[in-house]
Chain A
Amino acid sequence: MTAGPPYTIVLGVIGADCHSVGNKILDAFFTDAGFRVVNLGVMVSRDEFIDAAIESDARAILVSSLYGHGEIDCAGLRERCIERGLDSVLLYAGGNLVVGKRPFAEIEAKFKAMGFDRVFPPSVDLHAAAALLRADIEEAVHART
């Protein structure tokens, strides 16, 4: 699939959320798309995402949330990354991020304000997401050098 260096990404379902099917699909898909996936599985805390990203020198953290509490779980993740020395890691979030039916643009704006670089609705074209992820990582790498 997408050619390029095998960038490392950290993947997991945040909070007290145990929806594991989507997580396994993402793991298989991104591995197939040429990424080195560190999959932390379900019920992952903010610090576990950061711990794994530090040890594996990950370029991006992909946070999934299906059960509606994503807003509370994800609040402060960016600040915590900065606090712990991960100042240039990309943060992606996707899934059923909030409770109730709210326009996606509103959710996206909220999560971007929380420091996320990209926000995704429950259904997405994974090929497009992978291409976006690779482009974002490469831009960040070039910005650093």
Chain B
Amino acid sequence: MPAPRWAVCVDIGSTFTKGAVFGFEGGEGRIAARAEAPTTPGDLARGFEAVRRELFARARANEPGFAAEDAIVRFSSSARGGLRIAAIGIVPDLTLAVARLAAASAGGKIVKSFAYTLTADDVAALETLDPDIVLLTGGTDGGDEKHNLANAAALAGARISSTIIYAGNRTARDAVAGILAGKRCIAVDNVMPEVGAVRVEPAREAIRRVFLDTIVEGKGLAALVDSLGVAPKPTPLAVFELVRALSEECPEWRDVCLLDIGGATTDCYSAVEPFRGEPSVVLHGIREPRLTRTVEGDCGLRVSAEALFESGRALIERELGSPPLEILAFAVYIGLVARYPAYLAAEARETRFDAIMARTCAALALRRHAGVLRTVYTAGGKAWVQRGKDLRAVRRVIGTGGYLARIAEEDFLARALAALVPEPEERFLVPEAPVLYADRNHVVPLIGSLAAEYPREAARLLARSLRPVAGDVAQERNRRP
């Protein structure tokens, strides 16, 4: 598809609605205007219109050639914190792991996971949560059916308004659809047709369709969709598609990782061959796709600050250093920002605390996204078992999110990566020696909404707007005691 002359992109976040006008005249894309306004939760269209008006005015002022009628409009939304998904699988390391992968790659937020057969307590928990989607998986094609049938029966009797997406054993599909006839149920291909094989695309597409129905309903977006003739994308899906475009369209960005550090979650995206196939290394568990996303609900700078303090305690204490009062001051600061998410650091010490939190978010999210290599001593010598995805070959890491756009220290990503000390018998397969880039203009989600339609233009525009940041991971690692 030929590139449009102008693209107006808007991202409706939970706090702010942000927008940009991108110009594509003369080949390379550029940022022609920026604007933002508070999100209007009751009627999302009002905030959207305010941003669009401002964008048009600024684009006209900056660019003599700008004409609103030549511009396409695309938008994404993460309002309400995204689509809430409960994932059900049989074995935690197999179908449940794949179900979580599918939900995350579709831009969903996993509110709860259930393995094996749902109990009465599980059903009660589901009823309390009433998620947007229940992703029901289990069994290889031709494999186990009894867990799926039991879980379908439990869901049929549950008081939930969720859409149920069945992506389990194909053989049980008709029976499951029959049991769930009284619910909204979509059946798609199995996420794990064979043991270890991952096929998340059909489930991802089904989740995207549910997102459109759910998000557009009753929040003032329906009229907007009608007048614009396009539907919004879940923001994480827009970013997911942008990482794919970047990896496929720009050879120097082929093996790439993107960290989105937010107030509530840290999202990690990667595009890289998951398994190198070196001699003496065997891959166990599921074989992840080249492109994946994971979401860490306990890694955030504001809403999830307290959870971060708990999960990242060891890393945080090491960063804070020895003064015992420092940890108390840090704890106080955590309490403050968790209660007042809009708070911005006011003095040097608070800025340092924010930096430590951001580094901890990045380090934890990367470590969990990455696989592990465990040394095994065999009769024939040393061998290695790999679980999860090998990110060592990732050449470039991109950092994005409001924090990075606003303040972050120049060497923050280098320090975050260096904080991950490899353990002797177990190695985290994190990027080995990446070059680090920051999205200082905070355009990743905005360009993302163009990525599926105009992959080449979107990828090039992003590559041009990213800044390499100072700091060398290897050097930083050596500097540590």
Contact B91 A17 (CB under 8 A): no
Bound Cα distance from A36 to B144, whole angstroms: 14
Which among A44, A56, A68 is the interface contact of B379 at CB below 8 angstroms?
A68
A64 at the interface (CB under 8 A from B): no
Q: Which residues of A contact B464 (CB under 8 A)?
A: none
A18 to chain B minimum Cβ distance, whole angstroms, is 5
Q: Are B91 and A51 in contact (CB under 8 A)?
A: yes
A127-B117 Cα distance, complex, nearest whole Å: 38
Q: Majority SS of interface residues in chain B?
A: loop
Q: Which of B58-101 contact A (CB under 8 A)?
A: 90-91, 93-95
A18 to B380: give the CA distance in the assembly, Å. Answer: 8
Judge whether B17 is part of the interface by a CB distance below 8 angstroms.
no
Q: What is the distance, in angstroms, from A58's C-beta to the closest C-beta of chain B?
A: 8
Residue of B nearest to A41 (CB): B282
Complex CA–CA separation, A44 to B142 (angstroms): 23
The interface residues of chain B lying within 8 Å CB-to-CB of A38 are 140, 194-195
Q: Is the pair B195, A57 in contact by a Cβ cutoff of 8 Å?
A: no
Closest approach, in angstroms, between the C-beta of B85 and any C-beta of chain A?
21
Chain B residues within 8 Å of A132, by CB: none
Which residues from chain B contact A36 at a C-beta distance below 8 Å? Answer: 142
On whether the beta carbons of A57 and B143 are closer than 8 Å, the reply is: yes
Asked if B398 is at the interface of the complex by the 8 Å CB criterion, the answer is no
**A55 with B377: in contact, given A40-B195, A43-B282 (CB under 8 Å)?**
no
Given A8-B143, A18-B282, A48-B284, the answer on whether A54 and B90 have CB atoms closer than 8 Å is yes
Interface string of B99-141 (1 = CB under 8 A from A): 0000000000000000000000000000000000000001110
Q: How far is the CB of A51 from chain B (nearest CB, A)?
A: 4
B91: contacting residue among A43, A55, A68, CB under 8 A: A55
| A57 and B139 contacting across the interface, CB-CB below 8 Å | yes
B144: contacting residue among A10, A43, A56, CB under 8 A: A56
**Is B474 in the interface zone, CB < 8 Å from A?**
no
Q: Indicate whether A55 sits within 8 Å of B90 (C-beta atoms), given known contacts A16-B377, A16-B383.
A: yes
Instruction: Please report the C-alpha to C-alpha distance between residue A41 and residue B287 in the assembled complex, in whole angstroms.
Output: 14
CB neighbours (8 Å) of A74 from chain B are: none
Kindly state whether residue B192 has any CB partner on chain A within 8 Å. Answer: yes
Q: Chain B CB within 10 Å — which of A40, A52, A54 has the most?
A: A54
- Give which listed residue, A55, A57, A69, contacts B192 with CB less than 8 A: A55
Interface residues on A, range: 20 to 34
Question: Known interface pairs A8-B142, A36-B142, A55-B138. Does A42 touch B377 (Cβ–Cβ under 8 Å)?
Answer: no
B260 at the interface (CB under 8 A from A): no
Report the Cα distance A38→B377, complex, angstroms: 25
Flag whether A120 is at the interface (Cβ < 8 A): no
In the complex with contacts A55-B195, A57-B139, A44-B144 CB distance below 8 A? no
A71 → chain B, closest Cβ, in Å? 14
CA distance A36 to B143 in the complex (A): 10
Give min CB distance, A97 to chain B, whole Å: 14
Smallest CB–CB gap between A141 and chain B, Å?
15
B143 touches A55 (CB 8 A): yes
List chain B residues, Cβ under 8 A from A43: 282, 284, 376, 378, 383, 385
A58: nearest residue on chain B (CB-CB)? B143
CA A35 to CA B165, docked complex, whole Å: 31
Chain B: minimal CB distance from A124 (Å): 22
Q: Is A29 an interface residue (CB 8 A)?
A: no
Q: Which residues on B sit within 8 Å (CB–CB) of A52?
A: 94, 195
* A-facing residues in B233-287 (Cβ within 8 Å): 280, 282, 284-285
Closest beta carbon of chain B to A28's beta carbon, Å: 17
Contact residues of A between 49 and 97, Cβ < 8 Å to B: 51-52, 54-58, 67-69
Apart from A40-B284, A48-B285, what are 5 other A-B pairs with CB-CB below 8 Å?
A: A18-B280, A18-B380, A52-B195, A68-B379, A69-B379
Jot down 30 A-B pairs with beta carbons below 8 A, ordered by A.
A8-B143, A16-B376, A16-B377, A16-B383, A17-B378, A18-B280, A18-B383, A38-B140, A40-B195, A41-B282, A42-B282, A43-B376, A43-B378, A44-B284, A51-B93, A51-B94, A52-B94, A54-B90, A54-B91, A55-B94, A55-B139, A55-B140, A55-B143, A55-B192, A56-B139, A56-B142, A57-B139, A57-B142, A57-B144, A58-B143
- The 8 closest A-B CB pairs, nearest first, are A56-B143, A57-B144, A67-B379, A51-B91, A57-B143, A16-B378, A52-B195, A56-B140
B interface residues (Cβ-Cβ under 8 A, vs A) = 90-91, 93-95, 138-140, 142-145, 192, 194-195, 280, 282, 284-285, 376-380, 383, 385
